[in-house]
Structure 1
Amino acid sequence: MWDQIIFNGKTRDKSRTSSLRGASYAHSEVEILEEKIILWDRGLNDEGNSVEQKKMVTFLRN
């Protein structure tokens, strides 16, 4: 059974500048579901290619 999405959001394209590990800007996305929260942060270069990424999933318990 799939979790129902309660909220999802993301930063606007190229709205967060960055200089870490060759990135020109950073992009973040979040999804809050019934049983977990998913965060995904990516560093992208000028061409839009991912140069770094981190995804974190947190499971919620009742």
Structure 2
Amino acid sequence: MVEVVLSGPNLVMLLKLTHRQRLAPETRALTRRVYEQVAKVIDAVDPDANPGQPIPPIVLDDKLGNNE
């Protein structure tokens, strides 16, 4: 397990790179999984929360069939 901390601009770049449509099918499947997991956590963040509230981690699990 590796923990990586991304700044806001780096997170946006990750989303842009994983949302591209012109990718090989095997790459598209992988990037879709990454995009969906990142988007799920971003959608759950409350923009009106008090500053300093922890942001939930984004967990990318490479097990086949794992949708978490």
TM range (shorter): under 0.3
Give me the TM-score of the superposition, normalised by structure 1: 0.27
Structure showing greater relative contact order (alpha-carbon pairs closer than 8 Å, 6 or more residues apart):
1
Please identify which structure carries the higher strand content. Answer: 1
Question: Which structure: greater helix fraction?
Answer: 2
Q: Output the TM-score relative to the length of structure 2.
A: 0.26
